[in-house]
Amino acid sequence: MSLLLPAVARAAERISTLGPLEGGEYESAGTALADWIRSRVANRLPAPVIFVCTGNSRRSVLGAVLGNVAAVWYQLPGVHCYSGGTAPSALNRRTIATLCALGIEIEPTGELAHRGADGIENPIYRIRWGADAGESKGQMLDFSKHYGTPPNPHAEFAAVMVCDEADAGCPNVSGAAIRIPAKFVDPKVADDTAEEESTYAARRDQIGRFVFGAMAKAAHPANQQAAT
């Protein structure tokens, strides 16, 4: 895929061959997301997706970045993914490291966003996965923020709730056209342990399988049905 950075394209190919997450909430959530995207694309409408977790520091960031990579991989130009939280903090350095391990380029812009309630410094990052830096689909600016904070869309988006706390604490997502629970265990359980790197990589790939599976089904529904 020439539209992705070479290392990111290799990572996308690897994740795509792992197959979607099957069974239970993940399968139904992936189908709901794919159906919504497909309906929007069929009607030539944009299909923005916001991944939501509590602190907007780990799982939501993984979902948004990998969702954008998957949208390029499966040639869904109308799909743009964003991240947000219910109690924003700052992008976690471990999240950044595990995405960089896929060849994604993440650099601080030197600017700071508003601090969350925890008072942690909240840098704004340029995150690039596209081979052409001029392509809007190839990069994004991201920082920890409430899910309703610009540049996130304020209406007609899909909200994917990727953690228990955000799912329980935010039963109604203002402006969302559809709300989809797809909860993942927080990798912070392994922070400052010998399993830290492997835990973040495993969670990254698990979320990657979810978003790649949904995007594949949205782009090629007939192939997905034939495979089941």
**Angle ∠(60,83,205) on CA atoms, nearest 5:** 35
pLDDT score at 223 = 57
Classify burial at 24, counting beta carbons within 10 Å of its beta carbon; exposed 0-12, middle 13-18, buried 19 or more. exposed
Look up the CATH superfamily of 6-221: Response regulator (3.40.50.2300)
* DSSP-H helix ranges across the chain: 6-18, 24-42, 59-73, 93-100, 164-169, 196-219, 221-227
Provide the whole-model pTM. Answer: 0.94
Domain ranges of the chain: 6-221
Amino acid identity, position 200:
Y
Classify burial at 175, counting beta carbons within 10 Å of its beta carbon; exposed 0-12, middle 13-18, buried 19 or more. middle
pLDDT score at 179 = 97
CB 83 within 8 A of CB 61: yes
DSSP 3-state of 8: helix
pLDDT score at 1 = 43
Per residue of the chain (228 residues), what is the pLDDT tens digit? Answer: 469 999 999 999 999 999 999 888 999 999 999 999 999 999 999 999 999 999 999 999 999 999 999 999 999 999 999 999 999 999 999 999 999 999 999 999 999 999 988 899 999 999 999 987 655 679 999 999 999 999 999 999 999 999 988 888 888 899 999 999 999 999 999 999 999 999 999 999 999 999 999 999 999 876 554 443
DSSP 3-state of 227: helix
pLDDT score at 226 = 42
pLDDT score at 21 = 92
pLDDT score at 228 = 38
CB 50 within 8 A of CB 182: no
